[in-house]
Amino acid sequence: MAFIELSNVTKSYPSSDALINALDGISLEIEKGAFTVILGPSGSGKSTLLNLIGGMDLATSGEIIVGGDHIETLSQYKLTKYRREKIGFVFQFYNLIPNLTCFENVDIASKLSANPIDAKEVLEMMGLQHRLKNFPAQLSGGEQQRASMARALCKNPEIMLCDEPTGALDTQTGNNVLSHLQSMSKKYEKAVIVVTHNASIAPAADRLIELKDGKVEKVKDNELPEGISQIS
Amino acid sequence: MKYFLIKTYRDIARNWIQFLAVFLMALLSVAIYSGMEGVWHGLDKVSNLYYDRTNIADFWVYATNASEDDIQDIASLSGFEAEASMAVNVSSVDANDGGSRSFLKLRTLADGASLSKFLLQEGGEFSSSANSGVWLDLSYAEARGIRVSDEVQLSFMGQEKTFKVQGLVLGSEYIYYTGSTTEIVPNHELYGYCFISEQSAQEFFGRLAYNEIRVKSTSANPDMINDQIKAILGDAYLDTVFKEDVPAVSQVTKEVSQMQIMAQMFSFVFILLALLSMYTTMSRLIDTQRTEIGLLKALGFCNWSLRLHYAAYGLIVSATGGLAGALVGPLVVSPAVMKIKKATLVLPYWEIQTSFITYALVGVIVVCCVLSCAIAAQRSLKEVPAVSMRNKVPKAGKMSLFERIPFLWNIFSSEWKWIFRDISRAKLRTAIGVVGVAGGLTLIVAGFGFSDSISNSNDYVYHFQDGYQYKLLLNDAVSPEDASAIDERSSSSQWIMEKSANFNKNGVGKKGLLSIIDQGGLLLFEDTERNSIELADSGAFITRKLANKIGVEIGDSIQVHAIGSQDFYEMRIENIAYSPSPQGIFVTKAYFESVGGAFAPTSALVEGGDNCADISAVKESVTIGMQEENMNTMSKSVMTIIRLLILASVLLSIVIIYNLGTLSFVERYREYATMKVLGFYQNEIRALMLRENTLILVVGLALGTPISIKFLKEYIGIVAFDSFEWIAQINNASFMLCAGIIIVCSVVVALASSRKVRKIIMVEALKSID
C-alpha cells in the first residue's frame, strides 16, 4: 500500500444551477521519499488536490488515506493534529508572519512538532544563516520562499506540500528553491509534492501527475529523474 | 450613481457589525447629551416663562414692621414698582386627620397686586374683599386631599380662623419650597403656602404689619433703589435678598447648571471615545475597499465621485445614528431624568426642549465620520490603479522597544514577542484599545464613585457627626418649663441656634448656615486630617468646602451677616472642619455671645428620649433617620442620572472593545490562517488573541486608575450642591467592581471575537497576496 492513496476522490462546489466538480473521481498513489510534481493548466484542480491531501479542505466523496489514516473521516481537531504532525506547507506567496523574524517564523513552527529539526540547522541548510534576525519585509522573494520551506521542513513532517512555490520568483531563484525541495525528499525521506503549471520541471520528478478538468490525465514515473540544475 | 447607491447598501449589509457599532456610538453619545439637555433647557425655559408670567420681583426687602407712611414714601419714588405685604408662618390643624398639624407660609395680597402673582390652577379669581377665603398651594392641597370650597382652619399665635378654599394656585416664588431648614426635599403634606386678602388678614391678625416689600426695578439701578428704601425704612429695615439668592430661582439655576455640567463633562469623555473609535472603524473599513477603489479608478471614475461615494458611508451611518440619538434622548432619557426633578421642583408644566447644540453635536459627529472616510479613501485614491488593485502588503514587522533591552526581551516566550511586535506595528489600534479601556474605566468609576461619595458622605453626617436621635424644631419663644421638660425627657440634649448667614472675607462672600451650639456632646467634629477636634469658646470652625470657596485659613477673621437681620459679627476661624453638611460655620454659645450675639435656640438635639412632639414649644420633631431619608431622596435625583450614565458607559466600552477586537482580527486574518495551516489548534490561536487583549486591558486599567480617580474628584467637586460637600471617594469593593465590569466586558468580547478563528477558511485566506 502506498504512503498516500486517493481513491475516487471528488470535490464539488455548488453553483447557481448545478454542481461544479473541481476534482472528478481522482485516484492516485504517492510514495514516501518521492519528489512528485503535479502539472496542469489553471482550473485543472491542482491546488484543490493539494488542499485535500493537506487537510485544509474536505472531499465531497472518495477516500484519502495517508499513512493508513482515512483523512476524510477525521474531525476538525484531528485534522489540525494531522497538519501539525504530518504536513509541511509551502505557499506561492510565502505567508511568513510579518511580525516575526526569519528565525522566529521557523522556530514557532518547530515548537509545534514532537520531533522537530533544529530551526537554525534548517535555515543554515537553506543558506539563510545570515538572515536570522531579519523580518520578512527585509528579505528578497527567494529568501522568503526558502524561509517558508525551512518553516515547513523544521516540523519534520512526512509530507511537504508546495503550491506553486516558484510562481512569484524569477527562473534562477525558482530553480534554486526547487533544487532544495528535491534534495529534501531524498535527504529527509519526505513525500514532497509540488504543484505547478511549469512543465519544464517534469523531468526532475520521480512521479509526474498531469491533471485536466479535475481528472488525472497522465501518471508517469521517471526511473532516473534529472537534477534541477541539469534541466535549467 | 444608482450603482454606487446599490454598492453602498450592499457594503453596509456585508459589514453591518462595524456600521452598527458606529451607529450605536453616535446614537448613545447624542442620546445622553440630548436627553439631559432636553430637561435642563426645558426647565430653564419653563421657569423663566413662569417668572415672567407671575412677574416675579427683582428683590425682597425685609422689615420688622413697616408703617403705612413708609410704604407710601417708597411708592412715591420713581424707577421701580414696590408692593408691601405681610408674610407669616401659620399652622393648620386637620380635624379629619386626627388633628395633624401642617405649616403654611401665609402672604397677604393687596388689591391689584402685580408682583410675584400666583397662577390660578383651579377655583375662582382672587378677591380683595373681606372674608374672601384663602388661595391655597396646589401641591399642598393635592397632598392633603383638599379641594376648592373645602374649609381649612389656620392658627397663628393662639388665634384661629376658618377659611374657605377659594382657589388652588401655584406661585413662582415657591418652585422649590421646603418650609423648614431641616427639610431638603419639599414635603407637600407638611409644608405649603397660601394667599389671603389684606382685609381678611386684618380680621385674622387684628392688624396688618408689613414685613416684606417686593421690588421690581423698571429703570433705576437695583442697588440705588435698595439704598433709597433702606433710608426710608430706617430702623425697621432688616435685610435685602436679591432674586438670584431666592431658593425658587437659585435652586433652579443650581439644578440646571448641575445637569449641564454633569452632561457636558460626561459627554466630553464619552464623545471623545466614540469619535476615536468611529474614526478607526470607518478608516479601516475604507482600507478594505482599496482594491475596489483601484478597479473603479481603472474603469474611469474620477477621484471626486469616489471621494463622495466613500464619504457617503460616514454620512449615512453617523447621521442616522446621531439623529436617532436626538430622537431617543428626549423620548427615553429625558422622562427618566425629569421624573426625579419633579420630586424637588414644582412648575405649572414641564417641557422637554433640546437646543441647537444637540444638532451641532450631530453635525460634529457626522463631520468626523465623513472626514475619516474621505481621508481613508484619499490614501487609496493617491495610488495608481495598478497598485491599489493589488492586495495591500501587510505592514512590515518592526522591532519593539523591549528588543533593545536583550536580557528583558529574552525573558518573553515567542508568543509574547509576537504580541509586542504586533503592538509596535499597530500603534494606533493599540492606543485606541488602551484609551477605550481607560476611558470606559473612567466613566464607570465616575458613576460608582459618585454613588459611594454620596453614600459615604451621608453616612459620615448621619452616623458619625450628628449623634442625636431627634431634632426638635422650636417655636420662636420657648418657656423655661418647656425647656426643662425637653431636658428631663431625654438622656442628653443640646440646644442649637441656626441662622442663614452670609460669610465674607475680603469681599468674597458665600451663603451658608451659622450654627451656634450650646453645651452637650451630640455633634462631633474632625479636622481635614480626620483628627477629632473640640469646639472651644475662642473661635469658630468653618467647613472645608466653604473655607475653600471664600479662601479662609486657620487664624483668619471673617465677617458674618445673619440674613434677615442687621446683625454683623467678626469671627476668628480656629479650625477647618471635615463636616460635609451643613456648610457654614459652627461656634459655641459662649463665643457667639462674646462677639455680640444673643443666643435664641431654634432647635434642640435630643438623645435617648421620646420625640417631645406634645410639648408646645416644639413645632416639629424629626428623627435623624428622616433627615437621612430626605438627603437620600435628594441624592436619588442625581443617582438616576448617574445610573443612566453608567449604563451608557458600559455599552460604549463593549462597543469599543468589540470593535477593536474585530478590527484586530480583520488585520491579522491572514496570519491566523497561516497558523491554522501550520497546525496551530484553534485554542492556541485564541489564546494568543486573548493574551494581546489582556495586555491592552492591563495597560488600560493601569493608566485608567489614576485618571479615573482624578476625574471623579473633579466631577464631584463641580457637580455637588453648595449646601453639602460630597467627598470624592470610591470604596475598594466598588473600584474592584468597576475594574471587574471592564475586565468581564473585555474578556467576554475577546472570547466572542476569537470564536471567529473557527470560521477562517484557510484555502480562501491564503490565496493571493503580493
DSSP per residue, A140-181: -HHHHHHHHHHHHHHT--SEEEEESTTTTS-HHHHHHHHHHH
> Residue B140: pLDDT band by 50, 70, 90 thresholds?
very high
**Which of these three, B631, B650, B676, is where a domain ends?**
B631
Residues of A in contact with B766 (CB under 8 A): 91, 93, 95
A131 within a domain of the structure (yes/no): yes
Q: What is the pLDDT of residues B287-313, one digit of tens each?
A: 778 778 877 777 777 788 888 888 888
pLDDT computed for residue A153 by the predictor: 86
**Residue B392 contacts A, CB cutoff 8 Å:** no
Give B376 to chain A, closest Cα distance, Å. 23
Share of chain B above pLDDT 90, in %: 24
Query: Does residue A9 form part of some domain?
Result: no
Reported confidence tier of residue B764, pLDDT bands at 50, 70, 90:
low
Residue with the bigger pLDDT between B612 and A131: it is A131
Q: Is A85 an interface residue toward B (CB < 8 Å)?
A: yes
User: B425 contacts in A (CB within 8 Å)?
Assistant: 98-99
Choose the closest CB to A104 out of B414, B671, B679: B414
Average pLDDT, chain B: 84
pLDDT tens digit sequence for B265-274: 777 777 777 7
Average pLDDT of A165-184? 81
Give the pLDDT score at B768.
53
For residue B23, is pLDDT > 60? yes
Q: What is the pLDDT of residue B225?
A: 79
Note whether residue B586 is domain-resident: yes
Contacts of residue A217, defined as CB under 8 A and 6 or more positions apart, other chains included, come to A40, A210, A211
Is the distance from CB of B213 to CB of B61 less than 8 angstroms?
Answer: yes
Asked if A112's CB is within 8 angstroms of B678's CB, the reply is yes
Contact check, Cβ <8 Å, B681/A97: no
Our CA dihedral for B597, B600, B605, B611, rounded to 10 degrees, sits at -170
pLDDT tens digits along B487-499: 888 888 899 998 8
Of B644 and B685, which is predicted with more confidence? B685
Check residues B766 and B512 and name the one with the higher pLDDT. B512
Nearest-angstrom CA–CA distance, B515 and B342: 31
Q: Is A68 on the interface with B (CB under 8 A)?
A: no
User: CB B396 to CB A136 under 8 A?
Assistant: yes
Stretch 12-31 of chain A: residues touching chain B, C-beta under 8 Å: none
Query: Does the distance separating the beta carbons of A84 and B679 come in below 8 Å?
Result: yes
**B172-191 exposure pattern, b = at least 16 Cβ within 10 A, e = fewer:** bbbbbbbbeebbbbbbbbbb
Note whether A84 contacts B670, CB cutoff 8 Å.
no
> How many structural domains are present in chain A?
1
Q: Which residues of A touch B670 (CB under 8 A)?
A: 95
Decide which of A203 and B1 is more confident: A203
Contacts (Cβ under 8 Å, ≥6 apart) of B237 = B61, B62, B63, B229, B230, B566
Return all residues near B108 (Cβ < 8 A) that are at least 6 apart.
Answer: B85, B86, B87, B195, B196, B197, B198, B200, B201, B208
Residue contact B418–A104, C-beta within 8 A: yes
Does residue B766 form part of some domain?
no
A84 CB neighbours in chain B (<8 A) are 678-681
Residue A52 lies in a domain: yes
Weakest-pLDDT range from A86-90, A168-172, B136-140, B570-574: A168-172
Q: Which domain holds residue A100?
A: 31-58+75-231
| Site from A13, A83, A97, A108 to mutate, B interface, most B CB atoms within 10 angstroms | A97
Cis peptide before A116 (omega within 30 of 0): no
Of A119, A178, A130, the C-alpha closest to A154 is A119
Integer angstrom CA distances of residue B169 from B52, B102, B130, B141, B346: 16, 18, 19, 9, 11
Is A168 among the domain residues? yes
Domain boundary among B244, B279, B298: B244
Q: Decide if B418 and A85 are in contact by the 8 Å CB cutoff.
A: no
Residue of B nearest to A85 (CA): B679
Q: Which of residues 631-670 of B touch A (CB under 8 A)?
A: 670
pLDDT digits 0-9 by tens, B397-433: 666 677 777 787 888 887 788 888 888 888 877 888 8
Among partner residues B417, B674, B679, which is closest to A80 by beta-carbon distance? B679
Total domains in the fold of chain B: 2
Q: Is residue A1 one of the residues assigned to a domain?
A: no
Q: Hey, what's the cell of A117?
A: 529539526
**Is the pLDDT assigned to residue B361 strictly greater than 60?**
yes
Q: Between A and B, how many residue pairs show a Cβ–Cβ distance under 8 A?
A: 88
* Domain assignment present for A17: no
Q: Give the nearest chain B residue to A97 (CA atoms).
A: B671
**Band (B769; pLDDT cuts 50, 70, 90):** very low
What percent of chain B is helix, strand and coil (3-state, nearest 5)?
A: 55, 20, 25
- Domain presence at residue A63: no
What confidence score (pLDDT) does residue B450 get? 85
Point out the domain boundary residue: B631, B647, B669.
B631
Exposed e or buried b per residue across A83-99, where buried means at least 16 C-beta atoms within 10 angstroms of its C-beta: bbbbbbbbbbbbbbbbb
Determine the structural domain holding residue B589 and report its residue range.
Answer: 466-631
- Residue A8 banded pLDDT, cuts 50, 70, 90: very high
Contact check, Cβ <8 Å, A155/B394: no
Q: Within a domain: residue B336?
A: no
Average pLDDT, stretch B74-96?
81
pLDDT at A30 over 70: yes
Q: Could you tell me which chain B residue has the CA closest to the CA of A160?
A: B678
Whether pLDDT at B736 is above 90: yes
Looking at the complex, report in whole angstroms how far the Cα of residue B408 sits from the nearest Cα belonging to chain A: 17
Please tell me the predicted confidence (pLDDT) of residue B311: 87
pLDDT at B765 over 70: no
Q: Which residue of B has its CA nearest to A79?
A: B679
Indicate yes or no: CB of B674 within 8 angstroms of CB of A97. Answer: yes
Give domain status of residue A116, yes or no: yes
Q: Between the CA of residue B404 and those of B201, B399, B410, what are the distances in Å?
A: 91, 8, 11
pLDDT digits (tens, 9 = 90+) for B589-639: 999 999 998 898 989 999 887 777 778 788 778 888 888 887 777 777 677
Cβ–Cβ below 8 Å for A95 and B674: yes
Residues in A 208-227 with any Cβ partner in B closer than 8 A: none
Quote the pLDDT of residue B398. 67
Residue to mutate among B390, B672, B676, B677, with most A CBs inside 10 A, is B677
Specify if B557 maps to a domain: yes
Across the interface, whether the CB atoms of A56 and B763 are under 8 A apart is answered yes
Instruction: Please tell me the predicted confidence (pLDDT) of residue B435.
Output: 86
Q: Is B410 on the interface with A (CB under 8 A)?
A: no
Give B111-124 pLDDT, tens digit per residue.
888 888 899 999 98
* A136·B421 Cβ contact <8 A: no
Stretch A133-151: mean pLDDT, rounded? Answer: 88
Q: Which residue of A has its CA nearest to B419?
A: A99
pLDDT at B1: 63
- pLDDT at residue B770 is higher than 60: no
CB within 8 Å: B762 and A77: no
Does any CB of chain A come closer than 8 Å to the CB of residue B422? yes
In a domain? residue B662: no
Find residues 132-161 of chain A whose CB sits inside 8 Å of chain B.
135-138, 151, 155
Residue B608 lies inside a defined structural domain of this protein: yes
Higher pLDDT, B18 or A128: A128
Residue in B closest to A101 by C-alpha: B397
Q: Which residues does chain B have within 8 Å of residue A136's beta carbon, measured at their own beta carbons?
A: 396-397
> With DSSP H G I counted as helix, E B as strand and the rest as coil, what are the percentages for chain A, rounded to 5?
35, 30, 35
Q: Retrieve residue B639's grid coordinates.
A: 443617582
CA-based nearest residue to A196, from A215, A213, A178, A170:
A178
Kindly state the DSSP code that residue B755 receives in the 8-state scheme. G
Q: Please determine, for residue A110, whether its predicted confidence score (pLDDT) is greater than 60.
A: yes
> Could you tell me the three cell numbers for A14?
455548488
Contact between residue B191 and residue B103 where contact means Cβ atoms under 8 Å apart: yes
Q: Does B755 touch chain A (CB under 8 A)?
A: no
Residue B181 has pLDDT above 70, yes or no: no
Give contacts of B395 with chain A, Cβ < 8 Å: 98
- Judged by a CB distance cut-off of 8 A, whether residue A104 touches chain B is yes
Decide if B678 and A84 are in contact by the 8 Å CB cutoff: yes
Q: What is the chain B residue with the closest CA to A104?
A: B414
Q: Which of A54, A100, A109 sits opposite B397 (nearest CB)?
A: A100
Distances (CA, A) of B48 to B120, B137, B242, B245, B351: 18, 20, 16, 15, 12
Q: Regarding beta strands A191-196 and A159-163, do their DSSP bridges make them parallel or antiparallel, or are they unpaired?
A: parallel
Contact A104 B769 (CB under 8 A): no
The Cα B68–Cα B236 span in angstroms is: 12
CA distance B634 to B628: 10
Does any CB of chain B come closer than 8 Å to the CB of residue A42?
no
Domain membership of residue B103 (yes or no) is yes
Site of grid cell 513525500? A191
Position B98 in a domain:
yes
Residue B80 backbone dihedrals phi, psi, to 5 degrees: -160, 165
Identify the CATH number of the domain in which residue A125 sits.
3.40.50.300
- The pLDDT-based confidence of B141 (bands split at 50, 70, 90) is very high
Residue B63 has pLDDT above 70, yes or no: yes
Hey, which of A90-99, B208-217, B359-368, B434-443 has the most confident mean pLDDT?
B359-368
pLDDT in tens, B685-735: 888 888 888 898 999 999 999 999 998 988 888 777 777 788 888 999 999
Confidence of residue B766 (pLDDT cuts 50, 70, 90): low
Q: Strand, coil or helix: what is B656?
A: helix
Q: How far apart are CA B653 and CA B24, in angstroms?
A: 12
Average pLDDT score over residue span B554-580:
89
